[in-house]
């Protein structure tokens, strides 16, 4: 049985509308993360915990606390190392109540993650939303962004991954070529035009992300830095519900 055949999409893969918003807890400490979660209350059910919090200490205690609060967790650690190390890292993440985890690398790395995922959903990074055409030229990629994202998505599915991290700009091509066989999680959501200091380059707004085929979106600063984060989250939730109803 191939990795893809062993990995059918299940109802768990795409949650209810209220779970399609993933708020990024990109803050310096677990104390600040917990404070933001408490502020957002029942307006958000899904949280991303990434490298910044991993380096602050108390990462797994925070995950345990979030799961205990009834929240879903996306461990965005972008595993990228020799396959056996990635295999061991994914194995160590299983059984902690984490829903999504990211992997970043070649076919052997993605296959190692897919083989050890257990109850995790493994998402492969395609092209970071902080990169544009100029950045890819600097890295030596000669193909266009859309072609690169599609190629990586196909390889991720073949490796046993459940989905990809992709800009909303490339989501329509992924849906057209791959249909509903993979999850599309879209970061870099910006409700308004980017400011010059913003490090996200390939962005879309909430409604456009879902119209383009995203299953989940990840939002950090536009909610975290809002004058009323809970109200901002509820506004996003209303937009998501409307966008999903229109699909």
Q: Which token pair is 217?
A: 């979106």
Distance in angstroms (rounded) separating the CA atoms of residues 210 and 239: 10
Kindly list the distances between the CA atom of residue 119 and the CA atoms of 66, 100, 122, in Å, as whole numbers in the listed order: 17, 9, 9
- 71, 78, 117, 242: the active-site residue: 78
Do β-strands 121-125 and 72-79 pair in parallel, antiparallel, or remain unpaired?
Answer: unpaired
Residue 152 CB coordination number (10 Å): 22
Element (H, E) at 148: helix 145-158
Compute the residue count for the chain.
Answer: 247
Residue 201: active-site member: no
Cα 127–chain centre separation: 12
| Active-site annotation, residues | 78
């Amino acid at each position: 049985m191939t990795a893809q055949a062993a990995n059918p999409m299940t109802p768990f893969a795409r949650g209810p509308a209220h779970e399609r918003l993933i708020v990024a807890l990109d803050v310096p400490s677990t104390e600040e993360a917990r404070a933001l979660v408490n502020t957002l209350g029942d307006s958000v059910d899904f949280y991303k915990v990434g490298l910044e919090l991993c380096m602050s200490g108390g990462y797994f205690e925070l995950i345990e606390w979030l799961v205990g609060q009834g929240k879903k967790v996306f461990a965005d650690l972008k595993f990228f190392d020799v396959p056996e190390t990635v295999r061991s890292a994914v194995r160590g993440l299983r059984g902690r109540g984490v829903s999504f985890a990211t992997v970043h690398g070649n076919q052997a790395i993605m296959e190692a993650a897919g083989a050890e995922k257990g109850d995790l959903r493994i998402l492969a990074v395609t092209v970071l939303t902080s990169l544009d055409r100029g950045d890819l030229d600097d890295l030596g990629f000669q193909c266009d962004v859309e072609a690169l994202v599609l190629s990586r998505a196909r390889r991720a599915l073949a490796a046993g991954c459940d989905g990809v991290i992709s800009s909303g700009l490339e989501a329509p091509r992924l849906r057209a070529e791959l249909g509903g066989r993979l999850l599309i999680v879209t970061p870099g959501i910006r409700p308004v035009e980017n400011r010059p200091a913003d490090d996200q380059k390939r962005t879309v707004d909430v409604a456009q992300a879902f119209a383009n085929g995203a299953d989940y979106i990840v939002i950090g600063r536009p909610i975290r830095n809002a004058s009323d984060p809970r109200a901002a989250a509820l506004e996003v939730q209303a937009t998501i519900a409307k966008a999903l109803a229109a699909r």
